[in-house]
């Protein structure tokens, strides 16, 4: 059973920064992609950023230039550095790990960490 544990959320003023962390219970290289999703109140969960095991990072347009996803393989951890935060970034952020099996994919999720951007 895979466990993903997020941390680092909180309340921050507009323009501020937060760093989210996601620690996996096994090597993150055992997954094809690690990523972050955000779920704002009353909305569906949406993809934010991803870091494939052998490729380049990807971001949704609204966070490009402000968010950075990185990984620390020694600690089985993926980070999401969030800078220049805006009120519309407010959401519960969930860590995702995806493993491909041919045409089938298995997704694993963390419990989420709340990010609130407000004055």
SS3 81: strand
How many other CB atoms are found less than 10 A from the CB of residue 36?
A: 27
Mean pLDDT score of the chain: 96
How high is the pLDDT of residue 86? 98
Q: pLDDT tens, 1-13?
A: 899 999 999 999 9
Q: How far apart are CA 13 and CA 71, in angstroms?
A: 26
Name which of 17, 39, 19, 8 is nearest 85 in CA terms: 17
Q: pLDDT tens, 45-58?
A: 999 999 998 879 99
């Amino acid at each position: 059973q895979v466990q993903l544990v997020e941390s680092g959320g909180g309340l921050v003023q507009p323009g501020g920064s937060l760093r989210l962390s996601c620690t996996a219970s096994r090597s993150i290289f055992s997954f094809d992609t690690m990523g972050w999703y955000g779920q704002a109140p009353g909305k569906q969960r949406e993809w934010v950023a991803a870091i494939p095991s052998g490729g380049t990072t990807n971001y949704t347009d609204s966070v490009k230039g402000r968010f950075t996803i990185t990984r620390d393989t020694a600690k089985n951890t993926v980070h999401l550095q969030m800078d220049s935060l805006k009120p519309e970034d407010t959401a519960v952020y969930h860590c995702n790990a995806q493993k491909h099996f041919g045409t089938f994919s298995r997704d694993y999720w963390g419990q989420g960490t709340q990010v609130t951007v407000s004055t």
